[in-house]
Amino acid sequence: MSAEPALLLALDLTGTFAFALNGALTAVRAARLDIVGVVTLGMITALGGGILRDILLDALPPATFTDWRYLAVAAGGGLLAFLLSRQLNRLTWPITVLDAAGLGLFAVTGASKALGLGFGVWQAVIVGAITGVGGGTIRDVLIRQVPTVLRSELYAIPALVAAGITAAATRAGVYGTAVAVTAAAICVAIRLLGVYFGLNAPRPPGTRGS
């Protein structure tokens, strides 16, 4: 396996685990679900964005269904969250960091995969953002919440920034591990600053935040 596909796989699996853990914990907090419900919601959160990405890129069947490691990592993250839910529920900030990490990693891998398949820069940025927010959006819909991407402290914007950095670096011929990690880290930083300071994207004049 060459360096870039190996990097993409490592980032993808790390993001998958982070989102599975966060999605399963969201299920524990927001809905009274049994082990099947918790693990399933964790897997949907972890895999939904990647499936949407591959469908949009016509990279079929999606990687989730051709590589057992995605399903294993997602199921493992969901099961871990179920078994340690009481302990992990006390770790609100670390779980938020994990979610931000998943967001950044998926935005980077989504944009990089789109560019690798010959898509343009702007298309790659959009696909990267969708990869980052897709799983969480499906999760929120399933538990009857307004999706985080539509209401929370800077969620889509950090994903767009990370995807944009990835696309620009790839077009400039300097994309690699350092750039990928830096782009994901910038996404994490913007997301966490938004959460910490309660920052939001601009809203229509005359409206108030919830």
Domain count, the chain: 1
22 vs 89, which has greater pLDDT?
22
Helix runs in 57-176, H state only:
68-83, 85-88, 92-116, 121-142, 148-151, 156-171
The answer as to whether 16 is a domain residue is: yes
Model pLDDT, residue 97: 86
Model pLDDT, residue 179: 92
The answer as to whether 209 is a domain residue is: no
11 vs 203, which has greater pLDDT?
11
Model pLDDT, residue 183: 96
The answer as to whether 208 is a domain residue is: no
Distance between first and last Cα of the chain:
48
Taking 70 as the threshold, does the pLDDT of residue 209 lie above it?
Answer: no
The answer as to whether 79 is a domain residue is: yes
Give residue-wise pLDDT tens across range 103-147.
Answer: 998 999 999 999 999 999 999 999 999 999 999 899 889 888 888
Least Cα distance to 42 among 17, 70, 64 occurs for 17
Find the mean pLDDT for residues 145-164. Answer: 86
Q: Which residues, in sequence order, are CB contacts of 66 under 8 Å at separation 6+? A: none
Q: Which two tokens stand for residue 9?
A: 């796989």
What residue numbers bound the domain in which 55 lies? 3-197
Model pLDDT, residue 57: 94
The answer as to whether 203 is a domain residue is: no
Least confident range from 28-32, 74-78, 94-98, 181-185: namely 28-32
The answer as to whether 184 is a domain residue is: yes
Q: Which two tokens stand for residue 72?
A: 């294993």
Least Cα distance to 191 among 177, 26, 183 occurs for 183
Taking 90 as the threshold, does the pLDDT of residue 207 lie above it?
Answer: no
The answer as to whether 205 is a domain residue is: no
The answer as to whether 202 is a domain residue is: no
